[in-house]
């Protein structure tokens, strides 16, 4: 997990600290094409999917995923998300791209 630029005082957290954490993170969802994920350099590489798309609701920006353990989760995606390029049945990879906030209270 990569801390975002707004995460502060992370150096004060020590291994072994008992903490209560509130986490806000940014996820990226990539649609696989023929089981392959297009790379930055334009080359595709085979990747195992994390979930499949159950439902896409562009108006309210809802993306419902079913993970490989059958857990279902509905995500509220950002305005910039390209939901028009997704449809039910698509295999996707879900990656945590940035830790936006981590509130730690020491006990």
Partner 1 sequence: MIPTTSRLHVCLSMGLLLLPLPVWSQITPGQAEQLRTGINDRIEALTILGGDYLLGGGHFHSTGDGPSDVDIDTSKFGGSGEFGTLKQLGDLDIAWRPRLQGNMGTVDFKNHFDTPLLNGDLSETKAFGIQFGGGARFWFTDDFSLAPTIMGMYGHTTNDYTARSAFMVVNLAKATQVGLVDWRADTWTVRPALNIQYVYAWDRTLITLSSDPAYMHTKSFSSSNPNINIGGDSEAWDNKVDIDIPLGHMLLSHELRTGGYFERTELYGDVKEGLNTGHLNEIHGRLVLDYLNQLWLTQWIGLGGSYYWGSNFTGWSVGVDFMLVF
Question: Measured from the CB of residue 78, what is the shortest distance to partner 1 in angstroms?
Answer: 9
Q: How far is CA 102 from the centre of its chain?
A: 16
Question: Measured from the CB of residue 27, what is the shortest distance to partner 1 in angstroms?
Answer: 14
Question: Measured from the CB atom, is 29 or 37 closer to partner 1?
Answer: 29
Strand, helix or coil for residue 12: helix
Q: From 24, 43, 36, select the one nearest 96 (Cα to Cα).
A: 24
Is the distance from CB of 27 to CB of 94 less than 8 angstroms?
Answer: yes
Question: Measured from the CB of residue 67, what is the shortest distance to partner 1 in angstroms?
Answer: 14
Site residues, partner 1 (CB under 8 A) = 54-55, 58-62, 72, 74-76, 79
């Amino acid at each position: 997990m990569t801390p975002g630029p707004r995460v502060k005082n992370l150096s004060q957290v020590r291994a072994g600290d008992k903490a209560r954490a509130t986490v806000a993170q940014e996820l990226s969802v990539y649609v696989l094409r023929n089981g392959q994920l297009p790379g930055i350099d334009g080359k595709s590489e085979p990747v195992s999917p994390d979930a499949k798309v159950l439902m896409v609701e562009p108006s309210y920006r809802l993306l419902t995923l079913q993970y490989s353990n059958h857990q279902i989760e509905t995500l509220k995606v950002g305005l910039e998300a390209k939901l028009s390029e997704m449809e039910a049945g698509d295999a996707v990879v879900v990656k945590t791209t940035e830790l936006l906030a981590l509130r730690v209270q020491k006990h």
